[in-house]
Amino acid sequence: MEYVKQRRSIRKYQERDIDQNLLNELLETASRASTMGNLQLYSVVVTRDAEIKKALAPAHFNQPMVFDAPVLLTFCADFHRTSVWCENRKAVPGYDNFLSFLNASIDTLLFAQTFCTLAEEKGLGLCYLGTTIYNPDLIIDTLKLPKLVMPVTTVTLGYPAENPPQTDRLPVEAFVHEEAYHDYTAMDIDRLYAYKEALPENKHFVEINKKETLAQIFTDIRYTKKDNEFMSETYLASMKKQGFLK
Amino acid sequence: MEYVKQRRSIRKYQERDIDQNLLNELLETASRASTMGNLQLYSVVVTRDAEIKKALAPAHFNQPMVFDAPVLLTFCADFHRTSVWCENRKAVPGYDNFLSFLNASIDTLLFAQTFCTLAEEKGLGLCYLGTTIYNPDLIIDTLKLPKLVMPVTTVTLGYPAENPPQTDRLPVEAFVHEEAYHDYTAMDIDRLYAYKEALPENKHFVEINKKETLAQIFTDIRYTKKDNEFMSETYLASMKKQGFLK
């Protein structure tokens, strides 16, 4: 519990490599995570090769950690392996649909997060790359993902070469609802976001970007409607190509 | 690490309640999980009330653990709270789209799984209910989820009243790929699934269901194409109603 309380994402890594046996032990133990029907609807592609990192980097906006981390893990929703098993066993798989994508994505993320918790406990540092779902086709092509396999998230992994301060979190009452969802009044929002909005680094960020509020940093710069709508179409098209959507 | 190695899903619970402070501490600590832009795109609805459990139960095929667990946690992808914050801060949110649903779902599952790992370390037992995405509308209505909130998974939680054997897992080579995805030959499938297929309980399951292979149990009984296609449409329609899809 203490490891999780103290955790922070790590974006700078030592040159030190990660032992293959340690990595395999962590991946094996993580596979103890809950999984639908015990089918383990995921795959993970391990990238150590510099050339492949270079090929993947544009999908992640060329963030330096993609090059610098000794290991990249691309976690994929995978109904391909299960479908091949079925086809080899006189069973007709019916997993080329959206629900199966969701089931596999859930399995994948429970596995990925269990892996990350274990890795941090072993002294490794990591960072999730949300960019994985922005440009899936480049990842699919580079890692040669077959139909019914979709990249869901990527983790950069290595021994920490930084010790950044912990970032803030909303108070627990902001995301926990007793018995039913309780909608937020303007006063609730003021109270729940007060600490975040008052942080010097956030105030500075608003100022240098010439914005009025912190929320505008998100809506106007970081996660815009236009980008979101474009990438929604990209991901849905990719899902169709991979066979998860009609 | 040892807790994860030994873990198993728990479906039978003692009558003992879960202390509110313990639950809140676990939820608070779990919020240390990685999250997109530190927005924490999730909410969790805590159900202790017997009437609400009864109302939710049909969505989970009336599995006894829904009634018997002292606590049910419905983990939801939530862009509503963030959008309300934006609207209250002269920012125009653009999160009514599929990509935002995916981003929020990823946040939700990393949070949920961190919670589960911590809860098991504290001696609690739990089981994920994959049924959450089968019949989302009943859950949305019962828990009064507003637009831009979708149920993603549910966890039943309590002190264990059973100690079931651990279930099998595929060997690590079945789901780990070095540098690129390596497709499976018929021989690979035979080797990787041999242990699972030889388990007495699985052989028994095939026999009593009058099937030829274990894979047919999945394709013909547990997760059929027809059900998957029907529930795909149900979930997509629900996403439209909740504003995550045009």
Range of the domain at A19: 2-164
Q: In what order do the strands lie in the sheet with B176-178?
A: A125-129, A149-158, A71-78, A42-47, B176-178
- CB of A177 within 8 Å of a chain B CB? The answer is yes
Residue B1 has pLDDT above 90, yes or no: no
Q: Determine whether the interchain pair B52/A180 forms a contact, defined as Cβ–Cβ distance below 8 Å.
A: yes
The pLDDT, as a whole number, for residue B2 is 87
Distance from CA of B142 to the nearest CA of A (A): 8
Which one of A11, A32, A166 makes the best mutation probe of the B interface by having the most chain B beta carbons within 10 Å?
Answer: A32
* Residues A65 and B198 sit within 8 Å (Cβ to Cβ): no
- CB of B206 within 8 Å of a chain A CB? The answer is no
Tell how far CA A174 is from the center of its chain.
Answer: 22
A162-183 tens-digit pLDDT: 999 999 999 999 999 999 999 9
Residue B41 lies in a domain: yes
d(CA B217, CA B210): 9
* Residues forming a β-bridge with B13: B160
Q: Residue B234 contacts by C-beta under 8 Å, 6 or more apart in sequence?
A: B134, B135, B136, B137
Cα pseudo-dihedral B128, B231, B81, A236, rounded to 10: 110
- CB of B232 within 8 Å of a chain A CB? The answer is yes
Q: Determine whether the interchain pair A184/B81 forms a contact, defined as Cβ–Cβ distance below 8 Å.
A: yes
d(CA B134, CA B202): 25
Residue A34 has pLDDT above 90, yes or no: yes
- CB of B213 within 8 Å of a chain A CB? The answer is yes
Residue A2 has pLDDT above 90, yes or no: no
d(CA B214, CA B208): 11
- CB of A240 within 8 Å of a chain B CB? The answer is no
- CB of A33 within 8 Å of a chain B CB? The answer is yes
Distance from CA of B63 to the nearest CA of A (A): 15
B42-47 and A42-47 beta bridge pairing? unpaired
Please provide residue B76's backbone torsions phi and psi, each rounded to the nearest 5 degrees: -125, 135
Residue A241 lies in a domain: no
ipTM of the complex: 0.98
| Residue B84: CB atoms within 10 Å | 19
d(CA B135, CA B151): 10
* Residues B133 and A102 sit within 8 Å (Cβ to Cβ): yes
Residue A158 lies in a domain: yes
Please provide residue B230's backbone torsions phi and psi, each rounded to the nearest 5 degrees: -60, -45
SS3 A5: helix
Q: Determine whether the interchain pair B179/A45 forms a contact, defined as Cβ–Cβ distance below 8 Å.
A: yes
Closest CA to B44 of B132, B134, B121: B132
Total tally of structural domains belonging to chain B? 1
Mean of pLDDT over chain A: 98
Distance from CA of A243 to the nearest CA of B (A): 13
Residue showing tokens 């309640």: B17
Residue A117 lies in a domain: yes
- Tokens of residue A40, six digits: 């383990």
Please provide residue A62's backbone torsions phi and psi, each rounded to the nearest 5 degrees: 55, 35
Mean of pLDDT over chain B: 98
Closest CA to A117 of A29, A209, A52, A188: A29
* Residues B125 and B163 sit within 8 Å (Cβ to Cβ): no
CATH at residue A87: 3.40.109.10
Residue B19 lies in a domain: yes
Residue A210 lies in a domain: no
Interface of B with A in 41-60 (CB under 8 A): 42-49, 52
* Residues forming a β-bridge with B77: B42, B150
Q: Give how far Cα B88 sits from Cα of A143, A185, A199, B63, B92, Å.
A: 43, 10, 18, 41, 9
3-state helix vs strand vs coil in chain A, percent to 5: 55, 15, 35
Residue A1 has pLDDT above 90, yes or no: no
* Residues A140 and B7 sit within 8 Å (Cβ to Cβ): no
The pLDDT, as a whole number, for residue B67 is 97
Residue A229 lies in a domain: no
A117-164 tens-digit pLDDT: 999 999 999 999 999 999 999 999 999 999 999 999 999 999 999 999
> What's the average model confidence in pLDDT over A16-41?
98
* Residues A118 and A30 sit within 8 Å (Cβ to Cβ): yes
Please provide residue B75's backbone torsions phi and psi, each rounded to the nearest 5 degrees: -90, 125
d(CA A102, CA A125): 28
Long-range contacts of range A196-199, CB-CB < 8 Å, 24 or more positions apart? Answer: A196/A168, A196/A170, A199/A168
Residue B68 has pLDDT above 90, yes or no: yes
Residue B210 lies in a domain: no
* Residues A196 and A56 sit within 8 Å (Cβ to Cβ): no
| Residue B207: CB atoms within 10 Å | 9
A184-196 tens-digit pLDDT: 999 999 999 999 9
B94-153 tens-digit pLDDT: 999 999 999 999 999 999 999 999 999 999 999 999 999 999 999 999 999 999 999 999
Please write down the HEC assignment for all residues of A23-70. HHHHHHHHCCCCCHHHCCCEEEEEECCHHHHHHHHHHHCCCHHHHHCC
Residue B240 has pLDDT above 90, yes or no: yes
The pLDDT, as a whole number, for residue A71 is 98
- Tokens of residue B3, six digits: 């807790």
Percent over 90 (pLDDT), chain A:
99
Residue showing tokens 């929002």: A189
